[in-house]
Amino acid sequence: MHYLLFYDVVDDYVARRAAFRKEHIALARAALARGEFVLGGAFADPVDGAVLVFRGDSPEVAERFAKNDPYVLNGLVRRWWVREWTTVVGQGAEHPLPDPL
């Protein structure tokens, strides 16, 4: 299954994230190496949040990431939540639709 991790970030997120970025990226790369992390990044214009995509058997993979993320631990993220995402079209879709419908 795919899971989306949403972040709402503080107003000065861009200025504050530099101090924690190396550790945040290392956490993402470790999750990628385990096959849990798929893709992620911050919203642009305005930079007021981020979305990270995970693959796993439960939302726990995304929740564990958030609970250990230096952005969360150091107050750059105001709120985070996880949503299950039913993927049906595209490379790696968990529930691919037959072609053609």
Identify whether 6 is part of a domain: yes
- Render each residue's pLDDT in the chain as its tens digit; 101 residues: 999 999 999 999 999 999 999 999 999 999 999 999 999 999 999 999 999 999 999 999 999 999 999 999 999 999 999 999 999 999 999 999 988 86
**67-70 long-range CB contacts below 8 Å, 24 or more apart?**
68/27, 69/24, 69/27, 70/20, 70/23, 70/24, 70/27
Identify whether 94 is part of a domain: no
What is the domain range of residue 16?
2-85
Identify whether 96 is part of a domain: no
Instruction: Output the domain CATH number for residue 71.
Output: 3.30.70.1060
8, 51 in Cβ contact below 8 A?
A: no
Identify whether 24 is part of a domain: yes
pTM over 0.75: yes
